[in-house]
Amino acid sequence: MKSIIKVLAFSTALAAMVSAAHAEKLILKFGHVGKPGSLFAASVDEFAKRANEALGDKAEVQVFGSSQLGKDKELLQKLKLGQITFSLPSSVMSSVSDTFGVFEMPYIIKDRDHMKRVQASMGDTFQAAAKAKGYRILSYYENGFRHITNNTKPIDKPEDLAGIKLRTPKGSWRVKMFKLYGANPTPMAFSDVFTALKTGVIDGQENPYAQIWSAKFQEVQKYLSITGHVYTPAYVLVSDEHFGKLPDDVQKTLMDVAADTQGFVYETAASLETELLENLKNGGITVNTADKAAFIEASKPIYDEFSSSVEGGKELIEKVQAEASGS
């Protein structure tokens, strides 16, 4: 009888030890707004897969997409509070610091190689801006080149946007840009856009193909106009304070994996651009290629305003533009 009691006691103690070890495993939540099938979802899922393989039993990255843990600004706040570990903001970063507003300048980023050069030469500038607000950038991913959809008419030139109620992200520079073009910009959380389009609260929106397709906007929009007016990076963002409290080896692993996953993100983004445009065409939406030169010409005043109203704005623009040629 005593031997049985000893065995039971040992089993109980062993179970408690296993349970305690399991309980001590760090759970790192990654919240983002992307829906299944989006570039955001593919990017974060790949990061989490690689991170969890590298972390082993030390920690686990758990992914919560589709705004499950909140919309963009809520996720930024939850980073600060330590309620989540990572988020993947894009345009909303221009509301965190005007420094990120340089990416809101129309047509300033030419292609992904240009963006890579900007990251390499100006990464410290953007990191400093993020840290000044309590954040840290682990890597640069992508939202992508943005295009306009609407239910009114094909958009060929900026004046075609006159009076169109167009959803924009909650960033002041995008709002200014579309006001300049003559549209009626309506800032709105991404998760609310489909219903707003379906009910006619707004006429249109602007997003990369991956966001348009994954959110099924083609089901409630008649026209897709290929404008490519803005390239928006996405940022693997953490709280500088809370991330700094993680074990050093966990921090290093996460930073390395975040950087290494960038190549996958850019390759996937390039592939999706071709594939999803065909899917959208086949889905019944009417597609036209807008007059890019007309949009570029109409965009000059927004560059002037950024240069004059943002501290160091002119220099930021010049530095980004200097990397366009790769020289």
β-strands 231-239, 135-145: how paired? antiparallel
Instruction: Output the pLDDT for position 327.
Output: 58
What contacts 99, CB < 8 A, 6 or more positions away?
125, 126, 129, 310, 312, 316
CA–CA distance, 106 with 119 (Å, rounded to integer): 18
pLDDT of residue 254: 99
CA 44 – CA 62 distance, rounded (Å)? 10
4-49 confidence digits (pLDDT tens): 444 444 444 444 444 444 458 999 999 999 999 999 999 999 999 9
Helices and strands of the chain, counted as H and E runs? 14, 11
- Phi-psi map region of 253: left, alpha, beta (phi>0 left; psi -120 to 50 alpha): alpha
78-132 confidence digits (pLDDT tens): 999 999 999 999 999 999 999 999 999 999 999 999 999 999 999 999 999 999 9
> Per CATH, is 14-322 categorized as 3.40.190.170?
yes
Quickly state the pLDDT bin for 263 (edges 50, 70, 90).
very high
What pLDDT is attached to residue 171?
87
- The residue type of 95 is S
Instruction: Give buried/exposed letters for 310-326 (b at 16+ CB in 10 A, else e).
Output: beebeebbeebbebeee
Kindly write down the DSSP assignment for every residue of 229-271, as one continuous string: --EEEEEEEEEHHHHTTS-HHHHHHHHHHHHHTHHHHHHHHHH
CA distance 319 to 307: 12
